[in-house]
Amino acid sequence: AQSVTQLGSHVSVSEGALVLLRCNYSSSVPPYLFWYVQYPNQGLQLLLKYTTGATLVKGINGFEAEFKKSETSFHLTKPSAHMSDAAEYFCAVSDPPNFGNEKLTFGTGTRLTIIP
């Protein structure tokens, strides 16, 4: 069974500082990995994804994440935080097509607060 662990339910960073949101997963096969963002009173939207190929993936709003198979991690980073980045971030995992379980399994989320 798949699982996703997000370390830190709340993270606060100063505006302009590095953002690092941690995600570790467990999966029996090389997974597909996703980060979703949920702004206040809105639905989730896809931030970025890793399926195959380059392990460093770039998403919207300057975010990127690196798939590290040896560490079973997919941490989300942004070099310089902006006030508009304040939101809840969810890491999610699914099996690749034809591996039997393509449903998304979500982590518990990390609420990011930006300090002016």
Partner 1 sequence: SAVISQKPSRDICQRGTSLTIQCQVDSQVTMMFWYRQQPGQSLTLIATANQGSEATYESGFVIDKFPISRPNLTFSTLTVSNLSPEDSSIYLCSVGGGPEPGELFFGEGSRLTVL
State the number of CA atoms in the 13 A half-sphere of 19 facing the CB.
30
SS3 6: coil
Shorter beta-carbon distance to partner 1: residue 18 or 56 = 56
**Is residue 17 part of the contact set for partner 1 (CB under 8 A)?**
no
From CA 107, how far away is CA 89, in angstroms rounded?
9
Q: Is the dihedral of CA 97, 98, 103, 106 positive or negative?
A: negative
**Is residue 9 part of the contact set for partner 1 (CB under 8 A)?**
yes
Rounded to the nearest whole angstrom, what is the least distance from the CB of residue 19 to partner 1 in the complex? 20
Interaction residues for partner 1, span 82-101 (CB under 8 A) = 90, 92, 94-97
| Contact between residue 2 and residue 25 where contact means Cβ atoms under 8 Å apart | yes
Interaction residues for partner 1, span 58-77 (CB under 8 A) = none
User: Rule CB under 8 A: which residues touch partner 1?
Assistant: 4, 9, 32, 34, 36, 41-46, 49, 51, 90, 92, 94-97, 102-104, 106-109
